[in-house]
Chain A
Amino acid sequence: MANSNLPRRIIKETQRLLSEPAPGISASPSEDNMRYFNVMILGPTQSPYEGGVFKLELFLPEEYPMAAPKVRFLTKIYHPNIDKLGRICLDILKDKWSPALQIRTVLLSIQALLSAPNPDDPLSENIAKHWKTNEAEAVETAKEWTRLYASGA
């Protein structure tokens, strides 16, 4: 039902995501709902998340691409811009969304956010505080969490 009348744009984006995936990112639509994507992002090298495999869910609302996709981390992650429910503080997912952006650009931005945490615009206050006061220790915790929760198994 949800798959009937799927806009051509979504079909094309999906095809491209499957045929030419971005490095370190995979996104595949769920079988029963083509608007729901299972996403995996590899922790970028030289980041505390290196070696981790992070699962996310991405949903394209009815208004997409006029409205932003809804994205959430399913894997626990220690990051100042991601809260314990996996919600992400990223401007292009909110007021800076533009219909000229795509699933691919969104996921690349999230990948970049893993490489460059931004504790100045935090979602999780405690983690951000940790990051600002003792970055080395915070990075250690992030690595630890990556080992514990994102080691791919």
Chain B
Amino acid sequence: MESEDDIIDDLVSMEDDFYSGDFSDYYDDPNDEDNDYYSDGDDDYGLLEDDEDDQEAVVSRRDQLGYTVLKEADIKQRQEDDISKVSTVLSISRVDATLLLRYYNWSVSKVHDEWFADEEGVRQTVGLLETPVVQVSNARELTCGICFESLPRDNITSAACGHPFCRTCWQGYICTTINDGPGCLSLRCPVPSCNAAVGQDMIDKLATIEEKKKYSRYLLRSYIEDNRKTKWCPAPGCEFAVDFAVGGGNFDVSCICSRNFCWNCTEEAHRPVDCNTVAKWILKNSAESENMNWILANSKPCPKCKRPIEKNQGCMHMTCTPPCKFEFCWLCLGTWSEHGERTGGFYACNRYEAAKQEGVYDEAERRREMAKNSLEKYTHYYERWASNQLSRQKALADLNQMQTVQLEKLSDLQCTPESQLKFITEAWLQIVECRRVLKWTYAYGYYLPEHEHAKRQFFEYLQGEAESGLERLHQCAEKELNKFILCDGPSKEFDEFRAKLAGLTSVTKNYFENLVRALENGLADVDSQAVAACSKTTSSKNLGGTSKGRGGRGKGSSKTGGSSRNVDDTSN
């Protein structure tokens, strides 16, 4: 499998071409209508559209990589299409095709491969019987295998195997399984030794409307969740899914609901930081909360599907809940099938014992000793991470306010059509994006190895420049703009302001793109020219109040680093 590092390497090399930094591109006349991505949409939707447009630079890459946002209707359509395909090619019922696809994680090609290689075997595994295993007698009454009642034949029904159960007991069986969760999708005949599958036809015949709804829901969810190429958008309440061409480079995707997230780890979009760092960082951030403490202390993630599992009793042989059903050892989290004499027995595997011997005690001691120092360091980075997050949210709100109220006002005051004020929206979108990047650079900085002094120094320099550049843009978009909103009539300086803000926007945009690239590259092979050019640009623009936050990291009060941002926060 392609490791994440490889993917990122590919990505970086792609970007080298993509961003072959020609600054002049970014100095286009902001009034140039050709350069206008922002459709004259309804104001209510303005934010959303602009958000997408903001990603314009990324979109071109996305087109190459390919991902599709799927609405519920699309998902159903695709699922139906796949079922039809398998049903036609294999000449089996749609119910059986559904069972097959579900078993092989909705991979049509996998179903075809397996089926044509060994149809008998596949039928056996999935439980698609061609003939009943029990001969149904001709008796007028049959005995239900669950309630033991003798009932007229009409009341008795069975799966393909022929094992007779009455409708009431079937209903109870189906109801229990559906309410137990998505495992109902692989329902089998109640007879323990019989593996005949129970498909949707039986469900439709026997379940209540409520249960049928649940079953369909699980089926739809399975199509997204069991499929390697699709995932749900993680935004709360969002019901869209994203189909991603695995093997591409950049994982950033943008759902129609406006959530930008990383397809790989489903956290929010986090370039330039990689997924592992983000996971570590987020875990760390929540580690202080009681919930997380409890989860850490009392549960382990399933080694396969990663859902946290609480073990409240029973043996070490764990079976994750369906559909995962991964069997593993609670002690070492290794595959259960690999357990045995080789691992020192089923009950006390070597791996676990070895880990214990290798000094969990030392480790714990060491951690306690380091805790104080590390907490200080962590607090430093966390404060900055969190305040950039806040600042970003504030900027988003400001942007919204700008689009819904201020621009109109400004347009009247300055006698300028709103279409000529797009540079302001652009500036704010850039601020939002920069806050996001800047935020993640603090997670990056936290995990940058202590001993790599040169790198750290360089990183902090780049970060400091980025921060001060952004402050300047933010200040200009906020404070200086205010003058023109609060004044009584057209101002001569407005054109000057326009040029300044548009210029700052493109310089900052360029700087941050280079920053992202440099950090994704692990600062290993920084394009020194680009950086030199950047720093020249920024310094020639005389960005005030830079260079803070480089010396004071992790020491004592850690107030210094935050000052420029604090100014910003309070001025908001």
Q: Is A128 an interface residue (CB 8 A)?
A: yes
User: Could you say which of A9, A99, A121 contacts B315, with CB atoms under 8 Å apart?
Assistant: A121
What is the bound-complex CA distance between A98 and B146, given in angstroms?
9
Among the listed A8, A100, A119, which residue makes an inter-chain contact with B346, where contact means beta carbons less than 8 Å apart? A119
In B150-203, the 8 Å CB interface with A consists of 163, 165, 169, 172-173, 175-176, 190-192
Q: Sorted from nearest, which 6 A-B pairs have the closest CB atoms?
A: A100-B190, A66-B176, A128-B347, A120-B346, A9-B147, A99-B146
Across-interface contacts of B109 in A (CB, < 8 A): none
CA distance in complex: A90, B225 (Å): 31
Complex: chain A residue closest to B322, CB-CB: A95
What 14 new A-B contacts, CB under 8 Å, besides A12-B148, A122-B316? A9-B149, A66-B172, A66-B175, A94-B314, A99-B169, A100-B145, A120-B340, A121-B315, A122-B346, A122-B347, A123-B314, A123-B315, A125-B316, A132-B345
Shortest beta-carbon distance, A14 to chain B, in Å?
Answer: 11
Contact with B along A87-130 (1 / 0, CB 8 A): 10100101110111100000000000000000111110100110
Instruction: Check if A7 is an interface residue, CB within 8 A of chain B.
Output: yes
**Chain A interface (Cβ < 8 Å from any Cβ of B):** 7-9, 12-13, 63, 65-67, 81, 87, 89, 92, 94-96, 98-101, 119-123, 125, 128-129, 132-133
Chain B nearest Cβ from A91, distance in angstroms: 9
- Tell me if B319 counts as interface (CB < 8 A to partner A): yes
Contact with A along B340-352 (1 / 0, CB 8 A): 1000011110000
Contact, CB under 8 Å: B347 / A101: no
Q: Are A125 and B347 in contact (CB under 8 A)?
A: yes
B317 adjacent to A121 (CB under 8 Å)? yes
Task: Give the shortest distance, in Å, between B53 (CB) and chain A (any CB).
Answer: 51
- Do A67 and B314 have beta carbons less than 8 Å apart? no
A98–B190 touching, CB < 8 Å: yes
CB–CB B346/A121 < 8 A: yes
> Are B345 and A129 interface neighbours, CB within 8 A?
yes
Do B314 and A9 have beta carbons less than 8 Å apart? Answer: no
Chain B residue nearest in CB terms to A11: B148
Size of the chain B interface, CB-CB below 8 angstroms: 27
Complex CA distance for A7 and B163, rounded to whole angstroms: 22
Nearest to B173 among chain A residues (CB) is: A99
Q: A119–B175 Cα gap in the complex (Å)?
A: 35
Proximity string of chain B (124-154) to chain A, C-beta cutoff 8 Å, 1 when within and 0 when not: 0000000000000000000001111100000
Taking CB atoms, residues of chain B closer than 8 Å to A101 are: 192
Q: How far is the CA of A125 from the CA of B349 in the complex (A)?
A: 11
A132 touches B145 (CB 8 A): no
The answer to whether B345 touches A66 (Cβ under 8 A) is no
Asked if B571 lies at the interface with its beta carbon under 8 angstroms from chain A, I say no
CB-CB contacts of B307-334 with A at 8 A, as 1s and 0s?
0000001111101000000000000000
Given contact pairs A8-B147, A95-B319, A100 touches B192 in the complex (Cβ within 8 A): yes
Cβ-defined contact, A96 with B347, below 8 A: no
Cβ proximity bits B288-315 to A, threshold 8 Å, 1 near / 0 not: 0000000000000000000000000111
Q: Please give, as numbers and ranges, the residues of chain B lying within 8 Å of A121 by CB-CB distance.
A: 315, 317, 346
B332 CB to nearest A CB, Å: 14
Name the residue of chain B whose CB is nearest to the CB of A97.
Answer: B192
For the complex, what is the distance from the CA of A7 to the CA of B169, rounded to whole Å? 12
The 8 Å CB contact of B147, one of A7, A81, A87, A122, is: A7
Determine the chain A residues whose CB is within 8 A of the CB of B347 once the complex forms: 119, 122, 125, 128-129, 132
